[in-house]
């Protein structure tokens, strides 16, 4: 049985950072990823990473912007930690070799971003996530003796010992189909978000909420699952992302009449208000007939000097050209709000610890919570790195003071049985996996999106429950061992349905409007009743609801305007 | 919506059969991608059709493949355009002008595992690790950031833009001939460190890459990788930069490529035409100094090139005048002025070509637009202005 003191599941930024931090503590580390690490979705973070590093800026200012952005649902102790540790992390990345943009003096330069009161976003053109992730992967290659990489291994279940502590994971080598039980003293879930539950989404096909569902299934609490971010600038249909950096560089949002409509919604910050605010503004324009016939508004980047576009927004020049047939340097591009980010997730403390001893989580999978009801642009990379690092360190410390627990083979046998069951279903015995996935995505995008109401969410929940039943008889075509992507898609569908059910239940429960949760039937924020987190725990009858307090240190909730 | 037939080279390793072709009919909007077409076939017809993919937006680098023989990303190739190319190719081959299948194959220069999935570990990633792909700074890191020229970061960002998709490796002709060639992706990655002012082992890296017989001088300058790269990394350009830096480091180029380039420029500047005999001499024994005191290598290379000169002389393809260095005629004087102006222009615009600075060819920054001068979209009136 392969054993590692610390086992990291997922190799995006959070996972790679966690693995490196754990290895620095001198423990043995394994990192498992269902795709090659550099294919991870952290790649897609274009705009940058926030830190109050400039003289004149302060972590308090960064923290306040984050908390205001979260619509006061973020836990302020966690936000303080993240914003205080941010500058050191940026410098650490720079020292490792990230090619951050420089100002004329050759020092780190910044750009403006949404919801921020200072230009504190550090960046590499508009490939910031990719540039950082590839540099971390360089470090993984460098420290290959301390960190074993399991590239293209898919995890299907966590192993829990008789004391209720996490002691390993069942995983399948995608290349040959062999299944293994890995033993560990600490397991860190860094599998990203669940964007694929919605269609369309900016998220990659791999973002199927694996870690969230795996933790939920073994009894870990989930938190803030109703908080799903819709990004203001995505391409209609395909859902491709146009970075907020475009607006950071000065691009305008226009309705079909050519009006800069953000004047009405956020007269001070205009296009750089929080994402929930901008997305609602756009959706209102579209719903009230001031959008284009294709259900979009326009993002006008032609106001940004061309030289600057080539230097700083290179990637979206290509996205516009290759995926929309638009030269963004010459004409506005049509965009709309689209599913983008999971603010909620596995409930953790500031060291990544979940309710289950030995089980950690970081990055988009986790909910610490630093993002609360709405994440600020360029805070996600920061979240992955700070809490990835902290989880890695704490997981290593735990590993040093504990021994390997006895791992029962039963969990492996159960998973082998699950796979055998899936393989044995007759072709045509039920629906195709892809059909169920499509219906799920369209349902969620239609009913649990920018604007929500009780009837819609309830309807979505019913559909999700039906789809869960249908998934039990859905069949796959591929019965082989080598790269059986069909089988993996079937398991992922199960993960997505659990995620969807939790989001519906939490969205139904929160009877107010806060951050990304906008209930047309409860349009006001209601601090008296709802300044609290919604926690969910699995039971055989579905998620059970409980509440936890929001930690407030020094910023009392105020009215939120931009 | 339009209908397409995609013809996929399949390989199911557990079947005991060899590779085979299978056609799928798909229908989707022409602006959607070849990957979308494959996923539709997979969703509707056969879930065992294997293809790596994730982001669908040309950033994760999973879906490298050959489409109509060209290496690239499935998600970045529009299916309508792939159809046009398939028709064009068929029409050129005289096998019908429309309704041809779009041919999809796994990437080249890599073992195939299943259908479109190749073994990148044994080829691509092994080569990446060959170039010591991490920063090697000297001494303690500074308290704050390393202070570096802003342009240096933009310069290597072109290499950082690489998504490790393997399309360049798939298309590399040198690697086809020499599977041990370090190759375009790994060498572009190497430039990311050689060009990084924070890296302290520039010289060691250059010697390593130059002295490896499968290193930077193994590239044959064929441009395939530049065509294949979906991110504008231009791997061959990065290899040429490595060679230039190696030259500056005093490393001898076994192909005499740099000396050849300098000689070529010099000969054309002088005569306007290529005096091949002079080119050989100037490449190996440049200037008066070279002639008076030729290096040992200069002498051997000149002697080695003699048969190449004598053969066409014997067959009367070349006149004696052309075979003796310096006797070849030049361009008339007025034409030489034109040549001169090309050189002057090149000198005045002596900048590195880099996407992050200038955009791609054909979309170079239009100064009028920059200054806010309106540009008519009507070509007729535009010319009148």
Is residue A253 very low, low, confident or very high in pLDDT (cuts 50, 70, 90)?
very high
Q: Is A298 left (phi over 0), alpha (psi -120 to 50) or beta?
A: beta
Q: Which residues of A touch B61 (CB under 8 A)?
A: 38-39
Query: Any residues with CB less than 8 A from the CB of A203 and at least 6 apart, and which?
Result: A41, A44, A193, A194, A195, A196, A339, A340
State whether residue A229 is helix, strand or coil. strand
User: A372, A434, A281: which is closest to A70 by C-alpha?
Assistant: A372
Task: Please say if the pLDDT value at position A20 is more than 60.
Answer: yes
Segment A311-324 mean pLDDT: 87
Q: Which residue of chain B is at minimal alpha-carbon distance from A93?
A: B145
Contact B102, B6 (CB under 8 A): yes
* Residue where one domain finishes, among candidates B117, B142, B176: B117
Percent of chain A clearing pLDDT 90 (strictly above) = 93
Separation of first and last alpha carbons in chain B: 41
Please judge whether A323 and B356 are an interchain contact, meaning their C-beta atoms are less than 8 angstroms apart: no
Q: Are B70 and B216 in a shared domain?
A: no
Nearest-angstrom CA–CA distance, B209 and A169: 42
Instruction: Give the model's pLDDT for residue B353.
Output: 53
Nearest to B59 among A44, A125, A435 (CB): A44
Instruction: Give the model's pLDDT for residue B356.
Output: 56
- Flag whether residue B333 sits within 8 Å of chain A, measured between CB atoms: no
Please judge whether B355 and A314 are an interchain contact, meaning their C-beta atoms are less than 8 angstroms apart: yes
Residue A456 is inside which H or E element, if any?
A: helix A454-471
The DSSP bridge partners found for residue A544 are: A537
According to DSSP, residue A228 is labeled E
Q: Are B75 and B224 in a shared domain?
A: no
Distance from the B337 Cα atom to the nearest Cα atom in chain A, whole angstroms: 33
Instruction: Give the model's pLDDT for residue B345.
Output: 85
Segment A317-321 mean pLDDT: 89
Nearest-angstrom CA–CA distance, A10 and A169: 12
Instruction: Give the model's pLDDT for residue B373.
Output: 36
State whether residue A85 is helix, strand or coil. helix
Q: Are B359 and B220 in a shared domain?
A: yes
Task: Please say if the pLDDT value at position A119 is more than 80.
Answer: yes
User: A167, A195, A163, A234: which is closest to A12 by C-alpha?
Assistant: A195
Task: Please say if the pLDDT value at position B306 is more than 90.
Answer: no
Nearest to A311 among B357, B363, B369 (CB): B357
Distance from the B106 Cα atom to the nearest Cα atom in chain A, whole angstroms: 15
Who has greater pLDDT, A184 or B295?
A184
Nearest-angstrom CA–CA distance, B195 and B135: 11
User: A426, A449, A434, A430: which is closest to A504 by C-alpha?
Assistant: A449
Task: Please say if the pLDDT value at position A273 is more than 90.
Answer: yes
Instruction: Give the model's pLDDT for residue A238.
Output: 85
CATH of the domain at B173: 1.10.1060.10
Nearest-angstrom CA–CA distance, B244 and B241: 5
Nearest-angstrom CA–CA distance, A127 and A460: 36
Contact A315, A126 (CB under 8 A): yes
Q: Are B235 and B281 in a shared domain?
A: no
Query: Which pair of tokens denotes residue B256?
Result: 């005499």
Q: Are B111 and B93 in a shared domain?
A: yes
Contact A103, A89 (CB under 8 A): no
According to DSSP, residue A322 is labeled I
ipTM, two decimals? 0.95
Contact A103, A90 (CB under 8 A): no
Query: Which pair of tokens denotes residue B154?
Result: 């933009």
Please judge whether A204 and B55 are an interchain contact, meaning their C-beta atoms are less than 8 angstroms apart: yes
Instruction: Give the model's pLDDT for residue B298.
Output: 77
Contact A320, A287 (CB under 8 A): no
Is residue B260 very low, low, confident or very high in pLDDT (cuts 50, 70, 90)?
confident
Please judge whether B47 and A478 are an interchain contact, meaning their C-beta atoms are less than 8 angstroms apart: yes
Q: Which of A12, A38, A202 to mutate to test the interface with B (most CBs of B within 10 A)?
A: A38
Instruction: Give the model's pLDDT for residue B323.
Output: 79
Segment A20-26 mean pLDDT: 98
Query: Which pair of tokens denotes residue A427?
Result: 């072709």
CATH of the domain at B6: 3.10.20.30
Is residue B355 very low, low, confident or very high in pLDDT (cuts 50, 70, 90)?
low
Nearest-angstrom CA–CA distance, B86 and B33: 15
Please judge whether B145 and A151 are an interchain contact, meaning their C-beta atoms are less than 8 angstroms apart: no
User: A133, A109, A104, A105: which is closest to A120 by C-alpha?
Assistant: A109
Nearest-angstrom CA–CA distance, B172 and B243: 18
Segment A490-498 mean pLDDT: 98
Q: Which residues of B touch A95 (CB under 8 A)?
A: 137, 141-142, 145-146
Q: Are B166 and B242 in a shared domain?
A: yes
- Flag whether residue B57 sits within 8 Å of chain A, measured between CB atoms: yes
Q: Are B249 and B129 in a shared domain?
A: yes
Task: Please say if the pLDDT value at position B370 is more than 60.
Answer: no
Instruction: Give the model's pLDDT for residue B381.
Output: 36
The predicted-structure confidence for B34-83, as pLDDT tens digits, reads as follows: 999 999 999 999 999 999 999 999 999 999 999 999 999 999 999 999 99
Nearest to B148 among A102, A315, A434 (CB): A102
Contact A341, A229 (CB under 8 A): yes
B68-127 residues touching A, CB cutoff 8 A:
76, 78, 113-114, 117, 120-121
Query: Any residues with CB less than 8 A from the CB of A355 and at least 6 apart, and which?
Result: A219, A220, A221, A347
Task: Please say if the pLDDT value at position B363 is more than 60.
Answer: no
Query: Which pair of tokens denotes residue A374?
Result: 């709405």
Nearest-angstrom CA–CA distance, B169 and B243: 19
**A191 to A31, A188, B51: CA distances (angstroms):** 11, 9, 21
Instruction: Give the model's pLDDT for residue A396.
Output: 98
Contact A3, A182 (CB under 8 A): yes
Q: Are B179 and B142 in a shared domain?
A: yes
Sequence-ordered alpha helix ranges (H) in A28-75: 59-69
Q: Is B92 left (phi over 0), alpha (psi -120 to 50) or beta?
A: alpha
State whether residue A367 is helix, strand or coil. strand
Query: Any residues with CB less than 8 A from the CB of B172 and at least 6 apart, and which?
Result: B109, B181, B183, B184, B224, B225
Query: Any residues with CB less than 8 A from the CB of B279 and at least 6 apart, and which?
Result: B260, B263, B264, B267
Q: Are B244 and B294 in a shared domain?
A: no
* Residue where one domain finishes, among candidates B117, B150, B179: B117
- Flag whether residue B376 sits within 8 Å of chain A, measured between CB atoms: no
Please judge whether B60 and A433 are an interchain contact, meaning their C-beta atoms are less than 8 angstroms apart: no
pTM: 0.92
B140-179 residues touching A, CB cutoff 8 A:
141-142, 144-150, 153-154, 156-157, 160-164
Contact A522, A204 (CB under 8 A): no
A435-444, B127-136, B291-300: least confident range: B291-300
For A101-166, give the secondary structure using H, E and C: CECCCCCECEECCCCCCCCCEECCCCCHHHHHHHHHHHHHHHCCCCEEEEECEEEEEEEECCCCCE
According to DSSP, residue A561 is labeled -
Nearest to A99 among B55, B160, B232 (CB): B160
Q: Are B239 and B327 in a shared domain?
A: no
Across the beta sheet with A110-111, the strand order is: A49-50, A121-122, A110-111
Segment B347-369 mean pLDDT: 51
Segment A27-52 mean pLDDT: 96
A96-105, A129-138, B113-122, B243-252: least confident range: B243-252
Percent of chain B clearing pLDDT 70 (strictly above) = 90
Q: Is B383 left (phi over 0), alpha (psi -120 to 50) or beta?
A: alpha
Nearest to B150 among A102, A483, A485 (CB): A102
According to DSSP, residue B117 is labeled E
Instruction: Give the model's pLDDT for residue B352.
Output: 54
Query: Which pair of tokens denotes residue A289?
Result: 């007939």
Sequence-ordered alpha helix ranges (H) in chain B: 34-44, 79-92, 126-130, 150-160, 167-171, 173-177, 184-194, 202-211, 224-228, 235-248, 257-271, 276-284, 287-292, 296-314, 320-323, 333-348, 355-358, 367-370, 379-384
Segment A118-131 mean pLDDT: 93
Nearest-angstrom CA–CA distance, B369 and B362: 15
Instruction: Give the model's pLDDT for residue B383.
Output: 35
* Residue where one domain finishes, among candidates B117, B132, B155: B117
Host domain of residue B124: 120-254+353-384
Segment B201-208 mean pLDDT: 97
How many CB atoms within 10 Å of residue B342? 12
How many CB atoms within 10 Å of residue A138? 20
Segment B364-370 mean pLDDT: 39
Q: Is it true that the peptide bond before A62 is cis, omega within 30 degrees of 0?
A: no
Q: Is A314 assigned a catalytic role?
A: no
Query: Which pair of tokens denotes residue B87?
Result: 């028709």
Residue B361 has phi, psi (to 5 degrees) of -55, 140
Instruction: Give the model's pLDDT for residue B351.
Output: 58
Q: Which residue of chain B is at minimal alpha-carbon distance from A39?
A: B60
Query: Which pair of tokens denotes residue A501?
Result: 């059910």
State whether residue A4 is helix, strand or coil. strand
Looking at the 3D structure of chain B, how many domains does it have?
Answer: 3
Query: Which pair of tokens denotes residue A299?
Result: 């993002």
Nearest-angstrom CA–CA distance, A64 and A556: 10
Residue A492 is inside which H or E element, if any?
A: helix A485-509
Nearest-angstrom CA–CA distance, B136 and B125: 20
Task: Please say if the pLDDT value at position A95 is more than 60.
Answer: yes
Is residue B313 very low, low, confident or very high in pLDDT (cuts 50, 70, 90)?
confident
Is residue A291 very low, low, confident or very high in pLDDT (cuts 50, 70, 90)?
very high
Distance from the B193 Cα atom to the nearest Cα atom in chain A, whole angstroms: 9
Active-site residue, from A120, A247, A275, A353: A275
Nearest-angstrom CA–CA distance, A83 and A379: 9
Q: Is it true that the peptide bond before B39 is cis, omega within 30 degrees of 0?
A: no
Q: Are B291 and B357 in a shared domain?
A: no
Contact A130, A69 (CB under 8 A): no
User: B51, B155, B339: which is closest to A99 by C-alpha?
Assistant: B155
The predicted-structure confidence for A166-223, as pLDDT tens digits, reads as follows: 999 999 999 999 999 999 999 999 999 999 999 999 999 999 999 999 999 999 999 9
Q: Is it true that the peptide bond before B84 is cis, omega within 30 degrees of 0?
A: no
The predicted-structure confidence for A395-410, as pLDDT tens digits, reads as follows: 999 999 999 999 999 9
Q: Are B279 and B165 in a shared domain?
A: no
Query: Which pair of tokens denotes residue A513?
Result: 């409007």
User: A538, A36, A73, A54: which is closest to B166 by C-alpha?
Assistant: A36
Query: Any residues with CB less than 8 A from the CB of A489 and at least 6 apart, and which?
Result: A433, A434, A437, A476, B47
């Amino acid at each position: 049985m392969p054993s590692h003191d610390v086992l990291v599941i997922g190799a995006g930024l959070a996972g790679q950072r966690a693995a490196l931090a754990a290895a620095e503590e001198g423990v043995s580390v394994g990192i498992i990823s269902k795709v090659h690490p550099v294919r991870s979705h952290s790649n897609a973070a274009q705009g940058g990473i926030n830190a109050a590093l400039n003289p004149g800026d302060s972590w308090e200012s960064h923290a306040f912007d984050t908390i205001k952005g979260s619509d006061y649902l973020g836990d302020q102790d966690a936000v303080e930690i993240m914003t205080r540790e941010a500058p050191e992390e940026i410098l650490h990345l720079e020292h490792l070799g990230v090619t951050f943009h420089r100002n004329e003096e050759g020092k780190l330069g910044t750009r403006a971003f949404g919801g921020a009161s200072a230009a504190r976003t550090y960046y590499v053109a508009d490939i910031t996530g990719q540039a950082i992730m590839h540099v971390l992967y360089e470090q993984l290659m460098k420290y290959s003796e301390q960190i074993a990489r399991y590239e293209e291994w898919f995890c299907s279940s966590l192993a829990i010992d008789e004391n209720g502590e996490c002691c390993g994971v069942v995983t399948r080598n995608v290349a040959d189909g062999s299944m293994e039980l890995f033993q560990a003293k600490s397991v860190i879930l860094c599998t990203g978000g669940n964007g694929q539950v919605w269609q369309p989404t900016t998220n990659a096909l791999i973002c199927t909420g694996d870690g969230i569902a795996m933790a939920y299934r073994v009894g870990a609490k989930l938190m803030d699952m109703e908080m799903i971010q819709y990004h203001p600038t995505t391409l209609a249909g395909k859902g491709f992302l146009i970075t907020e950096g475009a607006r950071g560089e000065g691009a305008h949002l226009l309705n079909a009449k050519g009006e800069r409509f953000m004047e009405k919604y956020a007269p001070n910050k205009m296009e750089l208000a929080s994402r929930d605010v901008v997305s609602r503004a756009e959706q209102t324009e579209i719903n009230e007939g001031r959008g284009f016939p294709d259900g979009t508004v326009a993002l006008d980047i032609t106001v940004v000097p061309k030289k600057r576009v080539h230097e700083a927004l290179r990637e979206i020049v290509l996205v516009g050209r290759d995926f929309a047939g638009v030269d963004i340097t010459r004409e506005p591009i049509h965009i709309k709000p689209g599913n983008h980010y999971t603010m909620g997730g596995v409930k953790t403390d500031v060291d990544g610890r979940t309710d289950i001893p030995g089980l950690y989580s970081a990055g988009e999978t986790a909910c610490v919570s630093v993002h609360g009801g709405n994440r600020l642009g360029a805070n996600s990379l920061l979240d992955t790195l700070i809490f990835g690092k902290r989880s890695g360190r704490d997981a290593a410390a735990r590993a040093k003071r504990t021994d390997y627990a006895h791992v029962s083979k039963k969990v492996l046998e159960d998973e082998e049985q699950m796979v055998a069951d899936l393989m044995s279903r007759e072709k045509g015995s039920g629906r195709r996996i892809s059909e169920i996935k499509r219906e799920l995505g369209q349902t969620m995008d239609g009913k649990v999106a920018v604007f929500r109401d009780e009837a819609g969410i309830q309807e979505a929940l019913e559909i999700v429950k039906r789809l869960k039943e249908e998934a039990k008889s859905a069949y796959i075509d591929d019965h082989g061992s080598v790269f059986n992507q069909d089988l993996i898609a079937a398991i992922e569908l199960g993960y997505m349905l659990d995620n969807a059910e939790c989001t519906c239940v939490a969205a139904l429960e929160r009877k107010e409007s806060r951050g990304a949760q906008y209930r047309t039937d409860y349009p006001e924020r209601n601090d008296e009743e709802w300044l609290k987190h919604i926690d969910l725990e699995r039971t055989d009858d579905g998620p059970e609801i409980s509440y936890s307090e929001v930690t407030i240190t020094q910023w009392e909730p105020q009215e939120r305007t931009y | 919506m339009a209908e397409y037939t995609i013809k996929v080279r399949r390989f199911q390793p557990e079947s005991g059969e060899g590779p085979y072709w299978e056609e799928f009919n798909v229908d989707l909007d022409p602006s959607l991608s070849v990957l979308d077409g494959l996923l539709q076939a997979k969703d509707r017809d056969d879930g065992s059709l294997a293809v790596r993919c994730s982001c669908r937006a040309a950033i994760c680098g999973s879906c490298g493949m050959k489409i109509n023989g060209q290496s690239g990303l499935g998600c970045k190739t529009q299916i309508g355009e792939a159809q046009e190319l398939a028709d064009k190719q068929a029409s050129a081959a005289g096998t019908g002008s429309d309704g041809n299948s779009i041919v999809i194959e796994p990437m080249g220069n890599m073992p195939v595992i299943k259908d479109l999935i190749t073994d990148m570990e044994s080829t691509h990633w092994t080569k990446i690790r060959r170039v010591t792909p991490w920063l090697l700074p000297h001494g303690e890191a500074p308290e704050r950031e390393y202070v570096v020229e802003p342009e240096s970061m933009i310069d290597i960002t072109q290499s950082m833009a690489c998504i490790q998709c393997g399309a360049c490796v798939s298309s590399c002709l040198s690697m086809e001939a020499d599977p041990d060639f370090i190759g375009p992706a790994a060498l572009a990655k190497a430039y990311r460190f050689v060009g990084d002012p924070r890296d302290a082992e520039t010289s060691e890296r250059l010697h390593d890459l130059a002295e490896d017989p499968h290193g930077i001088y193994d590239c044959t300058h064929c441009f395939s990788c530049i065509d294949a790269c979906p991110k504008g990394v231009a791997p061959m350009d990065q290899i040429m930069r490595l060679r230039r830096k190696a030259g500056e480091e005093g490393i001898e180029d076994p192909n005499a490529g740099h000396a050849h380039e300098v000689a070529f420029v010099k000969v054309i500047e002088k005569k306007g035409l290529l005096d091949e005999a002079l080119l050989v001499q100037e490449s190996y024994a440049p200037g008066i100094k070279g002639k008076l005191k030729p290096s040992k290598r200069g002498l051997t290379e000149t002697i080695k090139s003699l048969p190449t000169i004598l053969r066409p002389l014997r067959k009367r393809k070349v006149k004696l005048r052309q075979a003796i260095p310096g006797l070849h005629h030049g361009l008339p004087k007025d034409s030489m002025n034109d040549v001169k102006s090309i050189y002057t222009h090149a000198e005045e615009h002596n900048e590195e070509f880099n996407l992050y600075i200038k955009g791609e060819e054909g979309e170079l920054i239009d100064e009028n637009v920059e200054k806010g001068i309106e540009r008519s979209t009507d070509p007729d009136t535009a010319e009148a202005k």
